Structure 1
């Protein structure tokens, strides 16, 4: 039978076994289709065209293993002529993701270092402690527990391994082959992550000239599937595409001029409403 026949009015099909089959079937045996419909699966681009945005937050490792930032051998060394590995990773990934974020404002945090004399695992690098967006964790169990809890949220975690350290634990967190499982409390049953939200890439695997293209591809290639898994988990369908005229596309509608006394400043319009079905 064909799909067209299944969804048509005639939904009773006689069953005719193959000549070589030994299965005994009644002379008038038939298959009746009681209900049939076609469900169109939305794509990642359907959500993007409906106004969904991707927000980027950056966390930078400041532990002592990176070396003294004043030493040219340090992974944090900045000389003004060549980007270090951290800068290259952030730049190559951020340039792609910024196109999906209307305000283009990216929180940047440091962890594992002393900031203003105090050790911190979640220090905003602009020194603005209001509304911190990430929470630092100091051991593997806490990280797994946080990822399992976050697997219900509209969140993707991208880990870029910089340097020649042992990244075994980062590959475990990636959970491509085996989902993370852990007890969220001593008295609870083991809980498995609802979906894969972590992608790990080692920077040292992309040292060729083509890494400018291959690194962001490897880092970001799982985000569409992770986005879709969240929408499917929560039963959210795409909104209708946003229609724009040519004049609207030529003008940046996210910015407006605001008079502040004798000066004029640009500020962003209100962000779009939260995504809902």
Structure 2
């Protein structure tokens, strides 16, 4: 469990805070043990079909205006954002084709893919985040591996807006030792902790990562690796909470397992996971403004239906 350091409710319309120090903070040095999740290995046999009231949500919006209208019609007055950044070792080589052979975390005069994705989302999602306070975490480095996360700030405080997310990212990157393996379970579990501490308010977890969950050569074909199983367990468990998960893929991939996570994980309360291939969108031969709009649309378009599902399932606090 993550230690709660402050007792201010996050994201409440009745308690908007100008000072980001007032938001709930967490001591992220405590391990979030993926093995504590219930075993749902049987889910792998039925991944071709969602067995839930809310089956696959169609990608049926064609503009940001439609997404914004749908969010409003669904009753979404506010939401809270959480950001998780992948600091696994593979970032050093998965930019071979898409980022001129540089590490995806390379800091230079122009933005790297992580900075680009953060910047674009930063111009689209804040309209739904009333207090503009964004808890940010890293995972997969030499201190966390696939077991826990680290906060962008030592005391666990949230970043005040996406500008601070970007500036703090640039401050910490030179001091992070990339490692692995890759698992999204710890960041998803951290997001669930934050949702619980908020009294059950709706949250969007934005994960930006360079590759899919670790699958070693020792994993038997047709079976899941421990990291895959723990991630599936966490996604399924997260569907019991008012939490949407948006995974943005940067770098060269591969992304086949992420598409399976997006469409074929069964036994969830609702379809709570969306995968967006950032590299594929940004490599299109269209104006940059259109690339950015398409990426933002892909990231947001399932949120209205997911939010409606959390209302109908009475998951909101």
TM-score, normalised to structure 2, is: 0.50
| 1:60 partner SS | strand
Q: Superposition pairs for residues 33-44 of structure 1, below 5 Å?
A: 44=71
Quick one: higher RCO (CA 8 Å, sep 6+), 1 or 2?
2
Match of 2:275 in 1: 200
Distance 2:135 2:300 in 1: 18
Distance 2:101 2:148 in 1: 25
Distance 2:157 2:300 in 1: 29
Q: Residues 259 and 275 of structure 2 are in contact (CA less than 8 Å); yes or no, is this contact kept in structure 1?
A: yes
Specify which of 260, 275, 292 is matched with residue 172 of structure 1: 260
Structure with bigger gyration radius:
1
**1:55-91 deviation line (CA, Å, top 9, x unaligned):** 111111100100189x970100111x31111111112
Q: Residues 74 and 304 of structure 2 are in contact (CA less than 8 Å); yes or no, is this contact kept in structure 1?
A: no
Q: CA RMSD in A?
A: 3.1
**1:190-218 deviation line (CA, Å, top 9, x unaligned):** xx111101100111111242211110011
Q: Superposition pairs for residues 1-277 of structure 1, below 5 Å?
A: 44-46=71-73, 48=75, 52-67=77-92, 73-79=102-108, 81-115=109-143, 119=145, 121-129=148-156, 134-135=188-189, 139-175=227-263, 178=264, 180-181=265-266, 192-207=267-282, 208=284, 209=288, 210-234=290-314
Shift >6 Å, 4+ stretches: 130-133
**1:107-156 deviation line (CA, Å, top 9, x unaligned):** 111111124xx646411111224899853797011111111111121100
| 1:96 partner SS | coil
| 1:59 partner SS | strand
Q: Which structure dedicates a bigger proportion of its chain to helix?
A: 2
TM-score, normalised to structure 1, is: 0.57
Q: Residues 139 and 148 of structure 2 are in contact (CA less than 8 Å); yes or no, is this contact kept in structure 1?
A: yes
Q: Which structure dedicates a bigger proportion of its chain to strand?
A: 1
- Unaligned ranges ≥5, structure 1: 1-42, 182-191, 237-274
- Unaligned ranges ≥5, structure 2: 1-69, 159-185, 191-212, 214-225
Distance 2:230 2:257 in 1: 13
| 1:200 partner SS | strand
